[in-house]
Amino acid sequence: MSHQENHGSLKAYIIGFVFSIVLTIIPLVLVLNHTLSGGLLTASILAMAVLQFLVQLFFFMHIKDGEKPRYNVMALVLAVVFVITIVAGSIWIMTFNSQVQ
């Protein structure tokens, strides 16, 4: 039984690296230049973080590669649901506690 691993090409790694750098620099520039304020700045940083996450998944972790059942994708989706639930719950609790005092 041969174990063939799916690795991306050099071109895909370079594209992923460039996207990662750009998606890191954009929020940095927005914060340093005070381009946006408040909620819009937070939303743009979160959007860049989600895009960065997707770039990492597709270009470096090869989440789309392979023809076998997508158990790793299902596990990833479950983990994302858990993280979103924990983060949203924490934000909700912190917001509620700040209003009580």
* Domain match, 60 and 13 both: yes
Q: Which two tokens stand for residue 41?
A: 């700045």
Domain encompassing residue 74 = 68-101
Helix or strand (DSSP H, E) at 59: none
- Judgement on whether residues 49 and 86 belong to the same structural domain of the protein: no
Residues 62 and 72 in one domain: no
Number of compact structural domains in the chain: 2
Nearest Cα to Cα of residue 62 among 96, 16, 100 = 16
- Cα distances (Å, whole numbers) of residue 31 to 48, 51, 55, 86: 13, 18, 22, 26
Q: Based on the domain organization, do 15 and 33 belong to the same domain? A: yes
Q: Let me know whether 57 and 97 are in one domain.
A: no
Length of the chain: 101
- On whether both 53 and 73 belong to a single domain, the answer is no
pLDDT for position 2: 45
Along the chain (101 residues), what's the average pLDDT of each consecutive run of 10 residues?
61 93 95 89 90 87 69 80 90 79 57
Do 84 and 53 fall within a single domain?
no
